[in-house]
Structure 1
Amino acid sequence: MQCVEQITGPGIAVLMDDIDTDRIIPARFLRCVTFDGIGEHAFEDDRQQDPSHPFNDARYRQAKVLVSGRNFGCGSSREHAPQSLMRWGIQTVIAESFAEIFFGNCIAIGVAPIIASRPDLEKLTKAIEQDPNLQLHVDLKTLKIRFGKEEITGIMPKSAQDALVTGQWDFLGQLLANKPAIEKKMHDLPYLSGYANV
């Protein structure tokens, strides 16, 4: 199973409130059969309308940490929104608050949603804008976020934090880790025993 304990990398800031899932990934990109290639369309409409949008800025292209505002990921429940951010390169989103379904969808794919105060988000945004190469160090065990000489503390429900740091979020990993027990159960069940070696 894949544990998410530390995230280190540059950041990107879109410090606005009520960014909904339709802005994160417009509806026309939901017709995909797989999520492959969806990352390049993150914030597509916003980027077309505003050429100076941070997701258009090559200086932020290696960002792993997204900083945003209140009620991030509101709107529809589409799982494509966190998928597009993850496939763009984002590994954690630090915001003032999250829509509940978006938060859960992040945990389900191993993207860490962390809550922080507005003053801390503003401080983080300013540091990122001053130095796009600034390395941010996010410790999921302590929820400390270090950047330069600064440190802030985030918030995450204990159940979500535990799921990430222990790897319990990774359902496929859990399934594969339990393959011997699953195969044994298949052999023990009379209606499956003839198919165990197929």
Structure 2
Amino acid sequence: AGGLTEFDLPRIKIPAGGGLQWPVPSLEGETMESVIEGVIVLARDTRAYYSQPLSEGGGNQPPDCFSSDGSTGVGKPGGTCVTCPLAQYGSAAGGRGQACKQIKQVFVLRGSLLLPEVISLPPTSLKAAKQYLLKLTSQGIPYYSAVTRVGLERTKNSQGIAYSRATFAFVRRLTPDEVKKAQEYHEMLKPLVQRMTVDLDASEVRDDQ
């Protein structure tokens, strides 16, 4: 009890129905923004499994099993994620996707804000995130030493239903002074995030595939 969770940080979620603007929490309520531009100070792979279908209110309860690193599950069934039957494609209801959802959490620090905002990327946005981060790595750029622009694009699944998918674009490298501060922030945040529990709501584990 009393530990930091991602619920303590502002959370930004992919909009439903193919929306092209991010709903961003603010002091005035919620603002709609077409892009999120800032420094990714941390990124982690997580998983969440709900035995009760989300459409039946499963997302209103903590997940039956979760992983803070995308590798080891805690709860029922728990254990190694890669060999878990619930992590295999085709295990989800209707035979599409995985019953245990992969969610990448991206912690973005924007402008003069003192705390990062958490963008939760569902399975349909994981490929774009992975490709972007690999491009940075291949050029020797740590993700926390660059300004990144995260946008949205609209696409459709095999049933013809529109959904939103995140896009990633490199804006610029940070200056040496900015890199030093960003790296210090990254190192400070990393142990805190490692201790965070994973508790995702239904809109964050929605599978649009």
More helix by share: 1
Pair member with larger Rg: 1
Q: What is the TM-score of this pair, normalised by structure 2? A: 0.28
